[in-house]
């Protein structure tokens, strides 16, 4: 099981890091969240029942770890994630989205997960994922149109 | 607005990270959390242990010094030699004739040991072929080796710090030659640590969030022999004029109207940027800008000459204010992996520096200067000069040669 976790970690690390950084609001915090999440997965590996995919189970842990960091550190919304490495000031008004909407957007765009995988990671139904994602896109589109006009 | 455009904006929000897999850290955390309370206590104990060991007359080294190194450590020295030979070959191919040091691995032996939360840390030494010595810091499977920079050494005190994501604290280790009997490290949190010098080597531990401001060697009578200092975070010793110089960017530059037809620029403007940037300088095919914001503040940016949006990378606006006396360098360098994809290093060096920064020195892991970049018009850039392999650190120096900032910190 630890070998499978390591294989997952090595194959999907950029996606885990990117989503965690987006949720945590900080690149370093995201990195830390992923490391902690995998450490948690190793410790709790016997609680994995095999009812879903191992990846979905790990995504749940990663998202929770990143949420914990965000709630603990409470960064300002739309803070530049890492100005020295990233540079582009975020222009998307993500603060208009709910936490659930943001997480689904991040998992969809940054990890390229399909609805079923996102649903498993967030313990919600695939239908809810689709509806939430559509609502989030609509909100962002509307906000950006408002900015442009 | 298309989905593709939304993709583009999301991409810019959190660009794909450059990641280095760190499974050893995951395993370490998995183990640590099981005994989390013990870790905190143990590391605190380690911090206390260093000065205590000196107070006890170097007991920390007594049981370890001279102990023959186990085969694994000797093998680490052999691998270090091989790495040095590869570097030598590479340098020769690049037109630099330089003989790299070789350790006599068979004569490797213990010098100092330190107990920390991450486990015992050992400092091993081996004679250097042709004179001098090499040393190797070992923490579990992590090792970091070096030799005298030159021999006979003109430097009486050299040191490196060793930290990173795999361990919970940091270590300082180095060489103090001549009559040095102890080394005193002044840390940025105000603490001072005195370390014993054994076989010309010293080692100590300190927390992750601090860095050394000054490292000084003393002889047995307490006479100060030599000291190296960095001012980063410890700028109280600067004069008011020097402090002011590190807190301003005075190049006036030239107005640079941003191409408002470019989608990225449109969103910059929508996000609070002025339509006209200030071009500070062009170096090595890159433009360096000050980007005024409508709220009166400024960000800084860079972009390759000819880039449609003019500016491609914007920095500033984060929690660390620039320019400031403790933050006089806004680095925009490109960092990447070396050919073997295992070690991160600077590939291109460039950025904006406050008035008080005279040059930026590109250094290798051992603190050796590889490239000296003058700061002109508040800009430094390696241009078309190839950044040498092994470039992992930048030191910003003032006109007196004092290091006033370091990247990474």
Nearest to A80 by CA among B148, B241, B13: B13
Q: How far apart are CA A79 and CA A91, in angstroms?
A: 10
Closest by Cβ to B17, choosing from A17, A35, A140: A17
What DSSP element (H or E) covers B137? strand B133-139
Cα–Cα–Cα angle for B196, B197, B198, nearest 5°?
A: 115
Token representation of residue A92:
């998307």
In A, which residues are within 8 Å of B15 by CB distance?
85-86, 88
Break chain A into its structural domains and give their ranges: 2-148
Return the residue matching tokens 């040191």. Answer: B159
The predicted model gives B285-313 an average pLDDT of 85
Work out the mean pLDDT of chain B and round it to a whole number: 75
A83 touches chain B (CB under 8 A): yes
- The closest alpha carbon to B220, from B185, B176, B252, belongs to B176
Residue scoring higher pLDDT (B387 or B11): B387
Distance, in angstroms, between A117 CA and closest chain B CA? 20
Confidence band of A68 (pLDDT split at 50, 70, 90): confident
Angle between helix axes A126-148 and A115-122 (nearest 10 degrees) is: 100
Q: How confident is the model at residue A86 (pLDDT cuts 50, 70, 90)?
A: very low
Q: What is the CATH number of domain A2-148?
A: 1.20.140.160
Contact (CB<8Å) A148/B266: yes
Are residues B290 and B223 part of one domain?
no
DSSP letter string, B23-69: HHHHHHHHHHHHTHHHHHHHHHHHHHHHHHHHHTTSHHHHTTTTPBP
Per-residue confidence band for B282, with pLDDT thresholds at 50, 70 and 90: very high
My answer on whether B223 and B238 are in the same domain is: no
Nearest Cα of chain B lies from the Cα of A84 at a distance, in angstroms, of 6
The answer to whether residue A149 neighbours chain B at the CB level (below 8 Å) is no
The answer, yes or no, to whether the previous bond of B408 is cis (omega within 30 of 0) is yes
Same domain, yes or no, for B170 and B280? no
* B181 closest CA partner among B144, B143, B226: B226
| Residue appearing with tokens 């309370």 | B37
Q: Which of B229, B247, B280 is the last residue of a domain?
A: B229
- Residue where one domain finishes, among candidates B212, B229, B246: B229
Same structural domain for residues B219 and B273? Answer: no
Residue B134 placed within a domain: yes
Residue indicated by tokens 């630099």: B96
pLDDT of B313: 74
Interface test with B, best of A2, A40, A83 (most B CBs within 10 A): A83
Q: Do A10 and B16 touch (CB under 8 A)?
A: no
> Residue B339 is part of which domain span?
231-409
Strand pairing partners for B109? B68, B125
| B241 and B204 share one domain | no
* B15: contact with A, CB 8 A cutoff: yes
pTM of the model: 0.40
B299:A141 CB<8 A: no
- The minimal CB distance from A141 to the residues B1, B34, B312 is found for B1
Domain count, chain B: 2
> Is residue B163 very low, low, confident or very high in pLDDT (cuts 50, 70, 90)?
low
Residue B300 β-bridge partners: B290, B315
Q: What is the pLDDT of residue B279?
A: 95
Lookup: tokens for B35: 């005994």
Q: Are B31 and B110 part of one and the same domain?
A: yes
ipTM: 0.79
Q: Is residue B290 part of a domain?
A: yes
B242 and B264 co-located in one domain? yes
Residue B80 CA to residue B86 CA, distance in Å, equals 10
Does the CB of B2 have a partner CB in chain A at under 8 Å? no
3-state secondary structure B330-371: EECCEEEECCCCCCEEEEECEEEECCCCCEEEEECCCCCEEE
Strands B142-147 and B133-139: antiparallel
Is B1 a domain residue? no
- Token readout for B362 is 């590109």
Of B180, B199, B229, the last residue of a domain is B229
Burial class (CB in 10 A: 0-12, 13-18, 19+), B36: exposed
Amino acid B65: pLDDT: 66
Q: pLDDT tier at A34 (50, 70, 90 boundaries)?
A: very high
The residue among B328 and B147 whose pLDDT is bigger is B328
Domain membership of residue B13 (yes or no) is no
- Compute φ and ψ for B342, nearest 5 degrees: -120, -25
Chain centre to alpha carbon of residue B314: 23
- Closest-CA distance, A123 to chain B, in angstroms, reads 24
- Give chain B positions within 8 Å (CB) of A77: none
The pLDDT tens digits for B64-98 are: 667 788 888 888 898 888 877 776 676 566 554 45
Considering only residues B312 and A102, tell me which one the structure prediction assigns the higher pLDDT. A102
Residue B2 lies in a domain: no
Residues B36-49 pLDDT 10s: 222 222 222 222 22
| Subunit contact A27:B17, Cβ cutoff 8 A | yes
The reply to whether B342 falls in a domain is: yes
CA B300 to chain centre: 23
Residues B128 and B79 in one domain: yes
- Residue A92 has a pLDDT of 61
Look up tokens 């040498």; give the residue.
B388
Q: Which helix (H) or strand (E) holds B303?
A: strand B298-304
Tokens coding A106: 């991040």
Q: Which phi and psi angles does B396 have, rounded to 5°?
A: -90, 125
| Residue A147 to residue B270, Cβ atoms within 8 A | yes
Convert the pLDDT of each residue in B355-399 to its tens digit: 999 999 888 776 777 888 889 999 999 887 778 877 878 888 888
Q: Does A102 touch chain B (CB under 8 A)?
A: no
- HSE-CB of A131 using CA atoms within 13 angstroms: 5
pLDDT for res A112:
84
Do B150 and B256 sit in the same domain of this protein? Answer: no
Instruction: Name the residue of chain A whose CA is nearest to B350's CA.
Output: A84
Whole-angstrom distance, CA of residue A15 vs CA of residue A37: 14
pLDDT at B231 over 60: no
Q: Which residues contact B66 (CB under 8 A, 6 or more apart)?
A: B109, B110
Q: Give pLDDT, residue B47.
A: 28
Q: Judge if B402 and B372 occupy the same domain.
A: yes
Shared-domain flag, residues B186 and B262: no
**Confidence class for position B287, pLDDT limits 50, 70, 90:** very high
Contact B23 A9 (CB under 8 A): yes
Coil, helix or strand at residue B320? coil
- Asked whether the beta carbons of residue A86 and residue B15 sit closer than 8 angstroms, the reply is yes
Whether B85 and B199 share a structural domain: yes
Neighbour count for residue B401 (Cβ, 10 Å): 10
Distance CA B193, CA B186 (A): 7
Contacts of B332 in chain A (CB under 8 A): 84, 87
What is the pLDDT at residue B276?
93
% of residues, chain B, pLDDT over 70: 72
B7/A109 CB distance under 8 A: yes
Interstrand relation of B224-229 and B254-257 (parallel, antiparallel or unpaired): unpaired
Question: Could you tell me if residue B392 is inside a domain?
Answer: yes
Rounded distance, CA B149 to CA B134, Å? 10
């Amino acid at each position: 099981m630890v070998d499978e976790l390591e294989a997952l970690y090595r194959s999907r690390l950029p996606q885990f890091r990117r989503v965690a950084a987006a949720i945590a609001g900080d690149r370093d915090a995201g990195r830390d969240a992923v490391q902690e999440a995998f450490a948690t997965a190793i410790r709790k590996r016997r609680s994995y029942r095999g009812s879903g995919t191992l990846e979905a189970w790990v995504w749940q842990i990663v998202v929770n770890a990143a949420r914990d960091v965000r709630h603990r550190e409470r960064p300002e919304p739309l803070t530049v994630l890492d100005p020295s490495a990233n540079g582009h000031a975020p222009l998307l008004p993500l603060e208009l989205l709910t936490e659930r909407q943001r997480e689904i957007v991040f998992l969809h765009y940054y990890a390229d997960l399909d609805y079923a995988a996102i649903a498993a990671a967030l313990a919600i139904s695939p239908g809810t994922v689709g509806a939430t994602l559509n609502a989030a896109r609509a909100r962002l589109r509307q906000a950006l149109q408002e900015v442009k006009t | 607005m298309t989905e593709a455009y939304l993709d583009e904006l999301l991409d810019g929000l959190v660009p794909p990270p450059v990641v280095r897999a760190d499974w050893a850290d995951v395993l370490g955390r998995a183990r640590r959390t099981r005994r989390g309370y013990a870790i905190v206590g143990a590391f605190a104990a380690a911090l206390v242990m260093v000065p205590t060991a000196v107070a006890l007359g170097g007991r920390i080294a007594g049981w370890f010094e001279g102990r023959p190194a186990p085969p694994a450590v000797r093998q680490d020295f052999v691998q270090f030699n091989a790495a040095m030979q590869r570097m030598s070959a590479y340098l020769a191919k690049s037109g630099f004739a330089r003989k790299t040091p070789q350790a006599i691995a068979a004569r490797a032996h213990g010098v100092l040991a330190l107990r920390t939360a991450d486990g015992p840390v050992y400092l091993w030494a081996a004679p250097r072929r042709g004179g001098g010595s090499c040393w190797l810091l070992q923490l579990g499977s992590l090792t970091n080796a070096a030799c005298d920079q030159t021999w006979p050494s003109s430097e009486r005190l050299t040191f490196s710090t060793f930290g990173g994501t795999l361990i919970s604290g940091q270590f300082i280790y180095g060489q103090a030659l001549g009559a040095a009997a102890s080394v005193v490290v002044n840390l940025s949190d105000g603490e001072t640590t005195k370390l014993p010098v054994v076989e010309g080597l010293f080692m100590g531990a300190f927390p992750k969030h601090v860095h050394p401001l000054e490292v000084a060697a003393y002889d047995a009578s307490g006479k100060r022999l030599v000291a190296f200092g960095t001012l980063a975070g410890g700028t109280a010793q600067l004069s008011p004029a020097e402090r002011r110089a590190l807190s301003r960017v005075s190049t006036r530059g030239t107005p640079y109207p941003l191409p408002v037809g470019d989608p990225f620029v449109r969103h910059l403007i929508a996000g609070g940027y002025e339509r006209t940037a200030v071009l500070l300088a062009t170096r090595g095919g890159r433009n360096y800008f000050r980007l005024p914001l409508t709220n009166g503040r400024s960000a800084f940016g860079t972009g390759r000459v000819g880039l449609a949006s003019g500016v491609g990378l914007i920095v500033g606006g984060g929690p660390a204010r620039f320019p400031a006396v403790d933050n006089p360098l806004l680095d925009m360098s490109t960092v990447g992996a070396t050919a073997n994809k295992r070690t991160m290093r600077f590939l291109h060096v460039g950025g904006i520096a406050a008035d008080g920064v005279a040059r930026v020195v590109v250094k290798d892991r051992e603190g050796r200067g590889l490239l000296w970049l003058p700061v002109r018009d508040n800009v430094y850039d390696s241009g078309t000069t190839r950044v040498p392999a092994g470039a992992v650190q930048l030191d910003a120096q003032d006109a007196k040669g004092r290091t006033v900032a370091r990247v990474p910190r």
